[in-house]
Amino acid sequence: MQIQDTHSKVIGYLLWIFGFLGSHRFYYGKPVTGTIWFFTGGLLLVGWLVDLFLIPAMDREADLRFHAGAIDYNVAWILLTFLGVFGVHRLYMGKWISGILYLLTGGFFLLGVLYDFWTLNDQISLCNAERG
């Protein structure tokens, strides 16, 4: 079985720059520790520095865990990170109704955006598996 590259180390390291907020951990499918990093400043920056060396392993694990396909994880994560309240990432994934609702409600008043930070990898993986 060939491992498909679903996540990018370049994107991971770019998000790591803001990693004391947990963004790279959310990207690699680790929402619990992403939330911990968010509320503790990357475990007082110590965990953030350690993650500099852990990103290649997190990247490999994400590549094994999630399904590659028509929806690109990197594009979806960039759209969520920068345009999440407008629902652009949901429109990109073909989720038109919720995308328009996000646009009209500020990402369901930011709660939907928070939900998507926790679940976006699984949402994309499911869409890619269904589209085969």
pLDDT exceeds cutoff 80 at 2: no
pLDDT of residue 116: 97
For residues 41 and 132, which has the higher predicted lDDT (pLDDT)? 41
pLDDT exceeds cutoff 80 at 3: no
Q: What are phi and psi of 22, to 5 degrees?
A: 85, 5
Q: Which two tokens stand for residue 50?
A: 């350690």
Place of tokens 């928070």: 114
Q: C-alpha distances in angstroms, 28 versus 4, 23, 46, 58, 99?
A: 15, 9, 19, 6, 23
Selection from 15, 31, 16 nearest residue 77 by Cα: 15
pLDDT exceeds cutoff 80 at 113: yes
- The DSSP secondary-structure symbol of 128 reads H
Q: How many residues are there in the chain? A: 132
pLDDT exceeds cutoff 70 at 7: yes
- Rounded to whole angstroms, how far apart are CA atoms 87 and 76? 11
pLDDT of residue 18: 79
The model's pTM is 0.91
Q: What tens digit of pLDDT does each residue of 69-110 get? A: 999 999 999 999 999 999 999 999 999 999 999 999 999 999
Q: C-alpha distances in angstroms, 123 versus 8, 35, 92?
A: 18, 19, 12
Helix (H/G/I), strand (E/B), else coil: 40? helix
User: How many contiguous H segments (helices) and E segments (strands) does the chain have?
Assistant: 8, 0
For residues 1 and 32, which has the higher predicted lDDT (pLDDT)? 32
In this prediction, residues 39-64 reach a mean pLDDT of 95
Cβ atoms of 58 and 30 closer than 8 Å: yes
Q: What tens digit of pLDDT does each residue of 20-49 get? A: 789 999 999 999 999 999 999 999 999 999
pLDDT of residue 1: 59
